[in-house]
Amino acid sequence: MSHSQVQGETSPRVHYLNTSYGIKSWLLTTDHKRIALLYLASITLMFFVGGFFAVLIRLHLIEPQGALLEPETYNKMFTMHGIIMIFFFLIPSIPAVLGNFLVPLMIGARDLAFPRINLLSWYIYVVGSVFTLVAIVTGGVDTGWTFYAPYSSVYSSTHVIVTALGVFITGFSSILTGLNFVVTIHKMRAPGMTWFRLPLFVWAMYATSMIQILGTPVLAITIVLLGLERLLHVGIFTPALGGDPLLFQHMFWFYSHPAVYIMILPGMGVESELVTCFSKKRIFGYGFVAFSSVAIAVLSFLVWGHHMFVSGQSVYAGLIFSVLSFLVAIPSAIKVFNWTATMYKGSISYQAPMLYAMGFIGLFTMGGLTGLFLASLATDVHLNSTYFIVAHFHYIMVGSAVMAYLGGIHFWWPKMTGRLYPDGWARFAALIIFVGFNLTFFPQFLLGYLGMPRRYAFYPPEFQVLNVMSSAGASILAVGYAIPLVYLIWSMRYGPIADSNPWGAKGLEWETPSPPPTENFEVTPVVTEEAYNYPTQEVAVV
């Protein structure tokens, strides 16, 4: 254990990255900051594996009859793309990387409440990933990421069990991370850090953790039941064995709808940090933004049935789930309006993280509003299972969640690595990603309304123009994602040294040096002010 004392000019400062060297010092670390970097490396790998499948999908769909792959292979590609991106990238992305790194720093704690459990959750994640990667290498799986029975439990002849086991195992990593955060946020806040002084990122992580703890076990149970039916022919979901296929969908979506909010709530938390910092202003309506996270987390558990409007669920169940789904739109709208209002009369600068933040608001607005089409029963009947759905959830999960993740990575990169990256390149990449994203997914809204079903390996020729536009966009998007990978890695060695607070941001994480010492703070900070207390004019304007 090393201490970061005041160092002389000659000897370099000791921090969490140089306190010890060697592979063992990383693989056995219990430092939340190092574990965050372990996660960063692993989910980046998974992101590019999942992205590789996306590229193949879009290349294949350039021609109506399919340009590249056999239908069986195509089905495996979209399945693996979905499983990897959702369970192995998006769900751990912001919580396990930024949350891990920042929650203790933001609340003035030395580490998470259970550092060894934190390391354990990374190992569990790695084991789950290995299972899934093995399934890919040995032939893949073709059920779609939704694993609908009875196709998955009886009919598919691919590696359902190995893949599902990978998802099952990884779920425990998610539960443990959530548990760790909840305990940490309750018990380890620095003196003076009251609940309503918490950065909104911490509120969002808290709401996310609750969903992870309460929802993920249901997914685990569902996978176990699926395995029992597939391996031992216990009749649970398959009618021929006495089961009910709708039961699977209820159980699956009871987790997987809240899981959407596991992916987007952390992004909303990042957004609040970015907008305030680059507007140099307090957040507009702190209480509304904080409690809308909680409202979203609660409502997220009550809307799963909107995935089943055409599945055979009763008309009355459909009505209830429809009205509840409309209600989720309200807290989301509140957030969007408050972020926008935060910029009012601010002092706005456009470094790369702010470009991501502005892109996030716009794309999240579109993603959220197109959700209304799907909460609405009459239009959902037509749009369900078409490319409209694909476009909608990519606006939320890629347009919003990935934008927020990249914005967050760019924002806290100097803190994590102690280095600055070239801002010009970063802005350029943000722009490319924004353009590429819209070109990829906007045409899919039109395709969906025209009636093109999703998960089609080939399609009627009248849909080709829009598909080609989408594929063209995807190639731009792929370039956009590759650029940050290059300059961020470059910056780790060659980037200019960052000081403790390169953005002039508020928050405890900026009061400790970059990179922080292993114990985060030399003295436990005492909090005496509200969140985002940027200097203001004398006169208060309301």
Residue 323 engages another protein in binding (rule: CB under 8 A): yes
Residue 291 engages another protein in binding (rule: CB under 8 A): no
Nearer to another protein, 110 or 454 (CB): 454
H-helix or E-strand containing 338? Answer: helix 315-343
The one-letter amino acid at 15: H
Pick from 14, 59, 127, 329 the residue near another protein by CB under 8 A. 329
Angle, CA of 490, 491 and 493, to the nearest 5°: 80
Could you say which residues in the range 209-248 bind another protein, by CB under 8 A? 238-240, 244-246
Contacts of 295 (CB under 8 A, 6+ apart): 330, 331
Pick from 51, 102, 132, 142 the residue near another protein by CB under 8 A. 142
Nearest CA to 55 out of 364, 473, 378 is that of 473
Tell me which long-range contacts 17-23 makes (C-beta under 8 A, separation of at least 24).
17/417, 17/418, 17/515, 19/517, 19/518
Residue 373 engages another protein in binding (rule: CB under 8 A): yes
Residue 61 engages another protein in binding (rule: CB under 8 A): no
Nearer to another protein, 16 or 356 (CB): 356
Locate 89 and state its tokens.
Answer: 């990238």
The DSSP 8-state label assigned to residue 530 in this structure reads -
Nearer to another protein, 299 or 416 (CB): 299
Backbone angles phi, psi at 173, to 5 degrees: -65, -40
Residue 134 engages another protein in binding (rule: CB under 8 A): no
# residues near another protein by CB under 8 A:
97
Residue 30 engages another protein in binding (rule: CB under 8 A): no
What CA–CA distance (Å, rounded) separates 246 from 252?
10
Angle, CA of 16, 28 and 516, to the nearest 5°: 10
Provide the minimum distance between the beta carbon of 114 and another protein in the complex, in angstroms, as a whole number.
36
Provide the minimum distance between the beta carbon of 112 and another protein in the complex, in angstroms, as a whole number.
31
CB 202 within 8 A of CB 273: no
Pick from 114, 337, 425, 490 the residue near another protein by CB under 8 A. 337
Residue 250 engages another protein in binding (rule: CB under 8 A): no
CB 87 within 8 A of CB 170: yes
Taking contact as CB under 8 A, which single stretch among the options 106-114, 138-146, 203-211, 485-493 is the one that binds another protein? Answer: 138-146
Taking contact as CB under 8 A, which single stretch among the options 105-113, 207-215, 286-294, 426-434 is the one that binds another protein? Answer: 286-294
Nearest CA to 394 out of 347, 443, 428, 333 is that of 443
What CA–CA distance (Å, rounded) separates 396 from 368?
7
Nearest CA to 175 out of 235, 128, 111 is that of 128
Locate 153 and state its tokens.
Answer: 């439990």
Place of tokens 């070109």: 439
Provide the minimum distance between the beta carbon of 306 and another protein in the complex, in angstroms, as a whole number.
12
Binding mask 432-461 for another protein (x = CB under 8 A): --------------x--xxx-xxxxxxxxx
Provide the minimum distance between the beta carbon of 426 and another protein in the complex, in angstroms, as a whole number.
17
Cross-strand partners of 453: 386
Nearer to another protein, 32 or 60 (CB): 60
What CA–CA distance (Å, rounded) separates 517 from 217?
36
Residue 358 engages another protein in binding (rule: CB under 8 A): yes
What CA–CA distance (Å, rounded) separates 295 from 331?
7
Provide the minimum distance between the beta carbon of 431 and another protein in the complex, in angstroms, as a whole number.
14
Could you say which residues in the range 377-396 bind another protein, by CB under 8 A? 377-379, 381-382, 384-386
Could you say which residues in the range 66-125 bind another protein, by CB under 8 A? 71-72, 75
The one-letter amino acid at 193: M
Contacts of 333 (CB under 8 A, 6+ apart): 368
Nearer to another protein, 373 or 487 (CB): 373
Provide the minimum distance between the beta carbon of 263 and another protein in the complex, in angstroms, as a whole number.
21
Could you say which residues in the range 488-517 bind another protein, by CB under 8 A? none
Residue 428 engages another protein in binding (rule: CB under 8 A): no
Provide the minimum distance between the beta carbon of 538 and another protein in the complex, in angstroms, as a whole number.
9
Pick from 6, 23, 137, 315 the residue near another protein by CB under 8 A. 315
Pick from 123, 462, 497, 524 the residue near another protein by CB under 8 A. 462
Which residue intervals of 15-114 are DSSP H helices? 23-27, 32-60, 71-83, 91-92, 100-107
Provide the minimum distance between the beta carbon of 65 and another protein in the complex, in angstroms, as a whole number.
10
What CA–CA distance (Å, rounded) separates 211 from 444?
30
Backbone angles phi, psi at 98, to 5 degrees: -70, -40
Provide the minimum distance between the beta carbon of 461 and another protein in the complex, in angstroms, as a whole number.
7
Residue 147 engages another protein in binding (rule: CB under 8 A): no
Taking contact as CB under 8 A, which single stretch among the options 5-13, 40-48, 259-267, 364-372 is the one that binds another protein? Answer: 364-372
Pick from 349, 479, 482, 497 the residue near another protein by CB under 8 A. 349
Provide the minimum distance between the beta carbon of 295 and another protein in the complex, in angstroms, as a whole number.
11
**Exposed/middle/buried for residue 169 (C-beta within 10 Å: 0-12, 13-18, 19+):** buried
Backbone angles phi, psi at 163, to 5 degrees: -65, -45
Provide the minimum distance between the beta carbon of 92 and another protein in the complex, in angstroms, as a whole number.
26
Provide the minimum distance between the beta carbon of 291 and another protein in the complex, in angstroms, as a whole number.
11
Pick from 144, 217, 227, 502 the residue near another protein by CB under 8 A. 144
Pick from 28, 130, 231, 330 the residue near another protein by CB under 8 A. 330
The DSSP 8-state label assigned to residue 238 in this structure reads -
Provide the minimum distance between the beta carbon of 243 and another protein in the complex, in angstroms, as a whole number.
8
Residues in the chain: 542
Place of tokens 């580490």: 111
